[in-house]
């Protein structure tokens, strides 16, 4: 791609790259796009007759929606400060899916489709450029920080569960010898393949027994056997908090969405939007076929 840059544009490139020094786990560069449109047309100051020549989409892991402004006093020039001061900030944006894990969020942002549609359900700066920044999911506060402000919190050690006395009693009851728990990847606990494939073990009964025993552990508030998930018989226990990301609650669904560049006037938008709206907005602005997502709308 051949482009001629003015000295000011070259300075903007350097300032943007130098300023954006926070940890970014994923950056996708997409071609094309015009300004994001809301219920009221977004005002732009530049000549927007020509479509953008470049779109930069930035996705930051666990970048909860309040974090862009929480530490704004520590930001240098350019980078995130540029997006906040010169762009459109949607401060009430959420993922609409419950399983707020990394790969789910990335694919949702990139495709504009909900997980049930896209199928992933488990874990230079140029003129006429539009930048969009968001996050694959939010996150709770770190246990160490919570403890520092007087809120009870600690870390969990699932690797020790298989040797706990309660689990040993389950093994005895079901005639299990050796290892029973293969591993834990939040929020899922996995049994060994030998146990799953053993025809002499009532798997549904074993899962139910394990779930009942786990909730007696100090660090476990709720456990549901996979058979209950398959049957749709999960009770509502009123649980309002989870230990890490992957929950359907606000601190996990809440993410920032910021658009900047391409002559967009700075503003803050507080109406609720969802991450599936980003790809639809991008596709419409570029002039390509939009994703087939009935519930998505323009930002």
My answer on whether 90 and 227 are in the same domain is no
49 pLDDT tier (thresholds 50, 70, 90): low
My answer on whether 191 and 103 are in the same domain is no
Burial class of residue 201, CB neighbours in 10 A (0-12, 13-18, 19+)? middle
In a domain, 297, yes or no: no
Q: What is the pLDDT of residue 143?
A: 85
Q: What is the pLDDT of residue 41?
A: 39
My answer on whether 87 and 18 are in the same domain is yes
Number of other CB atoms surrounding residue 249 within 10 Å: 16
Q: What is the pLDDT of residue 139?
A: 87
Q: Apex CA 96: angle with CA 257 and CA 43, to 5°?
A: 30
In a domain, 294, yes or no: no
My answer on whether 88 and 133 are in the same domain is yes
* Nearest-angstrom CA–CA distance, 66 and 68: 6
Q: Please determine, for residue 279, whether its predicted confidence score (pLDDT) is greater than 90.
A: no
Pick 216 or 24 by higher pLDDT: 216
Q: What is the mean pLDDT of residues 227-239?
A: 71
172 pLDDT tier (thresholds 50, 70, 90): very high
In a domain, 145, yes or no: no
Q: Please determine, for residue 162, whether its predicted confidence score (pLDDT) is greater than 60.
A: yes
Q: What is the pLDDT of residue 189?
A: 86
- Report residue 91 as tokens: 């401060």
My answer on whether 134 and 252 are in the same domain is yes
First-last CA distance in the chain? 29
Q: What is the pLDDT of residue 244?
A: 64
Domain count, the chain: 2
The domain that holds 109 is classified in CATH as 3.40.720.10
- Mean residue pLDDT across the chain: 77
My answer on whether 75 and 215 are in the same domain is no
Question: By C-alpha distance, which of 251, 247, 241 is closest to 221?
Answer: 241
Question: By C-alpha distance, which of 285, 297, 271 is closest to 44?
Answer: 285
Which residues span the domain enclosing 200? 158-231
In a domain, 90, yes or no: yes
Q: What is the pLDDT of residue 72?
A: 93
Q: Please determine, for residue 264, whether its predicted confidence score (pLDDT) is greater than 50.
A: yes
Question: By C-alpha distance, which of 274, 296, 292, 279 is closest to 30?
Answer: 279
My answer on whether 126 and 251 are in the same domain is yes
58 pLDDT tier (thresholds 50, 70, 90): very high
My answer on whether 107 and 55 are in the same domain is yes
My answer on whether 122 and 257 are in the same domain is yes
68 pLDDT tier (thresholds 50, 70, 90): very high
My answer on whether 69 and 98 are in the same domain is yes
Q: Please determine, for residue 297, whether its predicted confidence score (pLDDT) is greater than 90.
A: no
In a domain, 295, yes or no: no
Pick 60 or 25 by higher pLDDT: 60
Burial class of residue 280, CB neighbours in 10 A (0-12, 13-18, 19+)? buried
Q: Please determine, for residue 38, whether its predicted confidence score (pLDDT) is greater than 70.
A: no
* Nearest-angstrom CA–CA distance, 170 and 160: 15
**Most confident among 182-186, 229-233, 253-257 (mean pLDDT):** 253-257
In a domain, 256, yes or no: yes
Percentage of the chain modeled with pLDDT above 90:
32
In a domain, 175, yes or no: yes
Asked if the bond preceding 61 is cis, omega within 30° of 0, the reply is no
Containing H/E element for 170? helix 165-174
Pick 106 or 13 by higher pLDDT: 106
Pick 67 or 298 by higher pLDDT: 67
Would the pTM of this model clear 0.85, i.e. be above it? no
My answer on whether 78 and 193 are in the same domain is no
Judge contact between 277 and 298, C-beta under 8 A.
Answer: yes
In a domain, 53, yes or no: yes
Burial class of residue 270, CB neighbours in 10 A (0-12, 13-18, 19+)? exposed
My answer on whether 97 and 189 are in the same domain is no
What's the pLDDT tens digit per position in 285-295? 777 777 766 66
Beta strands 129-135 and 181-185, pairing class: unpaired
Question: By C-alpha distance, which of 287, 281, 296, 220 is closest to 38?
Answer: 281
């Amino acid at each position: 791609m051949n482009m001629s840059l003015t000295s000011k544009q070259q300075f903007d490139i350097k300032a943007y790259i130098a300023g954006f020094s926070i940890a970014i786990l994923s950056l996708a560069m997409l071609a094309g796009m015009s300004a994001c449109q809301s219920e009221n047309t977004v005002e732009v100051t530049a000549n927007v007759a020509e479509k953008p020549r470049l779109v930069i989409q930035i996705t930051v892991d666990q970048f909860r929606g309040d974090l862009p402004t929480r530490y704004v006093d520590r930001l240098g020039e350019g980078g995130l400060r540029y997006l906040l001061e010169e762009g459109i900030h949607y401060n009430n944006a959420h993922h609409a899916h419950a399983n707020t894990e990394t790969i789910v969020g990335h694919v949702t942002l990139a495709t504009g489709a909900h997980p049930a549609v896209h199928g992933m359900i488990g874990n230079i700066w140029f003129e006429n450029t539009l930048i969009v920044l968001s996050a694959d999911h939010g996150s709770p506060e770190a246990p160490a920080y919570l403890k520092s402000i007087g809120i009870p919190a600690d870390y969990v050690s699932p690797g020790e569960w298989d040797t706990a006395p309660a689990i040993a009693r389950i093994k005895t009851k079901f005639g299990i010898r050796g290892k029973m728990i293969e591993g834990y990847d939040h929020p899922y606990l996995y049994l060994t393949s030998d146990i799953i494939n053993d025809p002499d073990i009532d798997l549904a009964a074993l899962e139910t027994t394990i779930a009942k025993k786990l909730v007696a552990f100090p660090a476990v508030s709720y456990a549901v056997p996979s058979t209950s998930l398959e049957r749709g018989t999960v009770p509502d226990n009123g649980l309002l908090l989870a230990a890490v990301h992957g929950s359907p609650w606000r601190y996990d669904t809440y993410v920032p969405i910021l658009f900047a560049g391409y002559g967009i006037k700075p503003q803050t938008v507080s109406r609720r939007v969802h991450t599936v709206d980003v790809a639809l907005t991008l596709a419409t602005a570029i002039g390509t076929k939009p994703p087939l997502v009935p519930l998505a709308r323009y930002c």
